[in-house]
Structure 1
Amino acid sequence: MTTPVSLLFTPVAVIFDMDGLMLDSERAIIGCLADAARELGHDLPDVLWLSMVGHSEAVCRHLLDEAVGETQRDLILQRSHVLYDAVVAAGVPHRPGILAMLDFLQARGIPRAVATSTRRPLALKKLEASGLLSRFDAVCTSSDVEHPKPAPDVYLLAARSLGADPTRCLVLEDSPTGVRAALAAGMYPIQIPDLLEPDDAVRALGHLILPSLDDARLLLEQRLAAHADI
């Protein structure tokens, strides 16, 4: 880390986004979408795929509707699901630092939950195939709430599932949409950007932005060490 920062509170629980934060799946998802579109004769710009990062399936479908129309959208999604299923079955690669973070939290008995915009069946399949499912006390998905991120619903559900006060939960996120959801839930988010670098509007939210999960773990280690006897 290039500038000294510190964690301002001791969390009672840590809640994780999934895609782009724990799993290197954002690249795989948009890669499968782009490949499917090209197979069907649509060479769509990268900015379209990047605009889908962190958003719900409904938002992504709407963006595709605007780009190619409903009929072609359905064909692209059907083909991309086939391509992505093969990626998931093989196990989506981990993002750097996730195993060390989970080991650290588990060793200290700090509860952990997933809060993802992915639908429940696919989320569970991805976590299981990547060997991460057993590392969490709760998994909360867009299937389980009425409103997806950036609404706070899935984060509030995760806190309830852990029996934790939302204001004492640390959230780890990669996307601006997820950060806004965590802030709306009254939680303390740390953003570790993946495909989307924070713009001025995102930085103005005032949350902590770090280069990696390892940096976040070091901050947490320092906080716990400094307050071990309090």
Structure 2
Amino acid sequence: MTSLDPALALPFLPDAVIFDMDGLMLDSERAINACMAQAARELGHALPDTLWLQMIGGGDGLCRRLVAGQIGEAAADALLAHSEALYDAVADAGIDHRPGIVELLELLVARGIPRAVATSTRRPLAMRKLRAAGLLPYFDAVCTSSDVPRPKPAPDVYLLAASTLGVDPARCLVLEDSPTGVRAALAAGMTPVQVPDLLEPDAETQALGHRIVASLEQAQRLLEARLAL
């Protein structure tokens, strides 16, 4: 695309930008899915690939419920523990960035716009992943599922991020890849821009009425257009 639909234009210059992590900044959804599938195979479970896609954007509780619904609670616990061990090694090696994330963060730093992470990942793993990927220094705050009572699509982690930054939620721009995260941002009263990764927005997601762009580069162009006003 050479230009963006004017209807996508941001309604305000945000006082802060809050980022999801997995699938938005880090190419981790593919890595997570691969570890889940490998763990299932090694433990002798024939599970559909569509099951891993249903977990995108959710917390640990959702993942466990989905797997337990297929193979029972005890087997689910064993599978998830094995998958976590596999994924820990991947995370510690440093997960690849999604294209455009560093350029976008550099723009926000240069403009003095505060930045936070709001992720469904638990704090210890989130910090390890951000540090290994070299992204941690870009953020003023990191808020995780460990820090709130309810995971996305509840708004808790986004509201915590706004509070930590000292910014009105209504003045926050959110970047998300998943429908679950978009719903959390909307519930927090924020303005989400969705950058889909593995899950393309279905009709129900599109009906939420938020902005959807094809890449982080396009999300950056939305910001640059507002900065130029």
- Tell me the SS of whatever aligns to 2:197: coil
Structure 2 unpaired stretches of 5+: none
Query: Where does 1:180-191 land on structure 2 (aligned, <5 Å)?
Result: 180-191=183-194
**1:95 Cα offset (Å):** 0.4
Change (3 A) 1:3 1:104: closer
Equivalent residue number for residue 86 of structure 1:
89
Separation (CA, whole Å) in 1 of partners of 2:57 and 2:118? 12
- Tell me the SS of whatever aligns to 1:201: helix
Superposition TM-score, scaled by structure 1 size = 0.97
Superposition TM-score, scaled by structure 2 size = 0.97
Separation (CA, whole Å) in 1 of partners of 2:157 and 2:17? 14
Query: Where does 1:38-53 land on structure 2 (aligned, <5 Å)?
Result: 38-53=41-56
Equivalent residue number for residue 110 of structure 1:
113
Equivalent residue number for residue 223 of structure 2:
220
Separation (CA, whole Å) in 1 of partners of 2:60 and 2:77? 12
Instruction: Output the amino acid matched with 1:117.
Output: S
Separation (CA, whole Å) in 2 of partners of 1:208 and 1:221? 15
Structure 1 unpaired stretches of 5+: none
Tell whether 2:59 aligns with 1:56.
yes
- Tell me the SS of whatever aligns to 2:228: helix
Separation (CA, whole Å) in 2 of partners of 1:117 and 1:88? 15
- Tell me the SS of whatever aligns to 2:167: coil
RMSD across aligned C-alpha pairs, in angstroms?
Answer: 0.9
Query: Where does 1:148-167 land on structure 2 (aligned, <5 Å)?
Result: 148-167=151-170
Separation (CA, whole Å) in 1 of partners of 2:226 and 2:187? 24
Tell me the matched-pair count.
226
Separation (CA, whole Å) in 2 of partners of 1:194 and 1:75? 28
Post-superposition Cα deviations, 1:155-191, rounded to whole Å, max 9, x if no partner, equal 0000001110100100000000000000000000000
Tell whether 2:50 aligns with 1:32.
no
Post-superposition Cα deviations, 1:181-225, rounded to whole Å, max 9, x if no partner, equal 000000000000001000000000000000001001011011111
Give the counterpart of 2:195 among 180, 192, 195: 192
Separation (CA, whole Å) in 1 of partners of 2:89 and 2:141? 26
Tell whether 2:99 aligns with 1:96.
yes
Q: Structure 1 segments of 4 or more deviating over 4 A?
A: none
Identity in percent: 67
